[in-house]
């Protein structure tokens, strides 16, 4: 366990809080802490959705350059798995996730935001993949998730140049979903996922998994993933509750157990 990452749970929402001032530089300890926090958030029944947050000033300015500076190729062969594992842990979290982005979300910080389902940014936030300026490329999923989110041309613009984008441009290219004043970022992010508290947890999980796994494969394989997940939901109490409630009371009245 580490103090650099905390899972704070309130009213059904887990906040994964990065806490390594001044820039939340993501060293190996914080990367491992993120994996642990994701595992805990996935396992806890009192967590329906997750907000990733770096505090009021900064989301994260990337992987810890000072830690990596002297690493050799063989050091990095091992470390690069961890770099991808911590963003994968967030991407695979079987609950809705949203990044609350204040200040800088750069390099590995931007990659943490990319691993979430949605991103809310402060109007003065700056996002980017500046690794090229260090003589490297993004290593925590950035080349892949950014291209899938904003398309290859815009991803290449950002990754090959290393330039930062402001919140408005990030919104225009689909890198973020909402832009609000900095003081409202965390509450707005929470409000985006509050609707999932008390929802049909297995259906929400299956919906996210079908979309994410489907995007990783061809259409026919994606349709087969959907078919199996769809059929599987008929083994849940929530499907019985949801359909019975519709037949007896009309749409939108079901109270789900998340089971």
Nearest residue (CB) to ligand CAA, 20 versus 205: 20
> Does 67 qualify as catalytic in the annotation?
no
Helices 201-215 and 237-249, packing angle to 10 deg: 110
Residue 68 or 201: the one with the smaller Cβ distance to ligand CAA is 68
Task: State in angstroms the smallest separation of the CB of 30 from ligand CAA.
Answer: 11
Which one, 106 or 229, has the nearer CB to ligand CAA? Answer: 106
Q: Which residue is nearest to ligand CAA (CB)?
A: 107
> Least separation, in Å, of the C-beta of 183 and ligand CAA?
20
The catalytic residue among 40, 69, 131, 224 is: 131
Structure tokens at 177: 């979903």
Residue 257 appears among annotated catalytic residues = no
Residue 50 Cβ, how far from ligand CAA at the closest point, in Å? Answer: 21
Choose the catalytic residue: 8, 111, 194, 220: 111
Residues forming contacts to ligand CAA in the complex (CB under 6 A) are: 22-23, 25, 61-66, 83, 104, 106-108, 111, 130-131, 134, 138-140, 142
CB of 101 to ligand CAA, least distance (A): 13
- Cβ proximity to ligand CAA, 54 vs 96, nearer residue: 54
Catalogue the active-site residues: 111, 131
């Amino acid at each position: 366990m580490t103090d650099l990452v905390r899972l704070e749970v309130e009213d059904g929402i887990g906040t994964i809080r990065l806490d390594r001032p001044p820039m939340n530089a993501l060293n190996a300890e914080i990367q491992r802490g993120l994996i642990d926090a994701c595992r805990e958030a996935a396992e806890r029944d009192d967590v329906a959705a997750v907000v990733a947050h770096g505090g009021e000033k900064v989301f994260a300015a990337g992987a810890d350059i000072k830690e990596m500076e002297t690493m050799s190729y063989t050091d990095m062969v091992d470390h690069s798995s961890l770099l991808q594992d911590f963003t994968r842990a967030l991407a695979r979290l079987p609950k809705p996730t949203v990044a609350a982005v204040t200040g800088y979300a750069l390099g590995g910080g931007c990659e943490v935001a990319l691993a979430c389902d949605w991103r809310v940014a402060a109007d003065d936030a700056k996002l980017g993949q500046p690794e090229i300026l260090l003589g490297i490329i993004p290593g925590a999923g950035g080349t892949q998730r950014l291209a899938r989110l904003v398309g290859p041309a815009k991803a290449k613009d950002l990754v090959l140049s290393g330039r930062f984008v402001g919140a408005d441009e990030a919104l225009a290219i689909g890198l973020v979903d909402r832009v609000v004043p900095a003081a409202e970022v965390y509450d707005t992010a929470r409000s985006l996922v509050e609707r999932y508290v008390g929802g049909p947890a297995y259906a929400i999980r299956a919906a996210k998994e079908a979309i994410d796994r489907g995007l990783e494969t061809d259409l026919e394989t994606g349709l087969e993933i959907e078919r199996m997940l769809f059929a599987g939901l008929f083994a849940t109490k929530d499907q019985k509750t949801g359909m019975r409630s519709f037949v007896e009371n009309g749409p939108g009245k079901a109270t789900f157990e998340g089971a």
